[in-house]
Structure formats: structure tokens, C-alpha cells
Amino acid sequence: MKRMWVRIGRKRFCVPAEIATCFQAHFLFVPRDSDSDPELERATGELNQILDELIAGNPDPNRELGIIAVTNTDNGEDQLVLSWISTDEEVELSGDCSP
């Protein structure tokens, strides 16, 4: 399911959408094949371990760790940012929410 992030007040939420700008804070391992790179596999494991530690240390049950896509205002490029995503309220958007 595609989800996009929205900010309401000081909180960020992820809602179903036509575009994907909100992702789970976890990296998938690429299936092993002739193009696999052991260094990328090692780095993926280390990154996931760090993310798992952040998630385990989260004292707020009403939020989850996510990765969101944002536009860097300095260069206009899309970049990924770690963010706490609120889960304590159901958010429904109305109207055109296209970027």
C-alpha cells in the first residue's frame, strides 16, 4: 500500500495515497544472485540493527519510526529523512492532496 506523510500541527501522520512518500523504517535485503554485493548486505544489516535499537527504545506507544521523502529546499532534490510518525489518531484527507 502506498502512503504519503502529512503534518498536522506538530505531528506527522502517514495516510493511504496515490503516491508514496512515507515508508517503514527497515531496509530489505536484495536476494542473492550474481549481482549481490556483500558490502551492501553488511551495511543493510547494520542499518537495520540501528533502526531496531531506535524502535526498541521508543518510549511513546503512539508513534512509530518511519522514513519520509522530503524536498531539500537548498537544492530541490528529494531526500529521505527518519521521522517519528504518530499513530494515536486516525487521519482522513479530503479533496485533492496531490503534491
Secondary element (H or E) of residue 15: strand 11-16
Question: Which of 38 and 32 is assigned the larger pLDDT?
Answer: 38
Mean pLDDT of 87-99: 65
Query: What pLDDT, on a 0 to 100 scale, did the predictor assign at position 94?
Result: 58
Q: Phi and psi of 80, rounded to 5°?
A: -105, 140
Q: In sequence order, which residues have a C-beta less than 8 Å from that of residue 95 and are 6 or more positions away?
A: none
17 contacts: CB under 8 Å, gap ≥ 6: 2, 3, 4, 97
Asked if 64 and 85 touch (Cβ cutoff 8 Å), the reply is yes
Q: Length of the chain, please?
A: 99
pLDDT bin (cut points 50, 70, 90) of residue 99 is very low
- For the segment 50-78, what is each residue's pLDDT rounded down to a tens digit? 999 999 999 999 999 999 999 999 999 99
Supply the mean pLDDT for the chain: 88
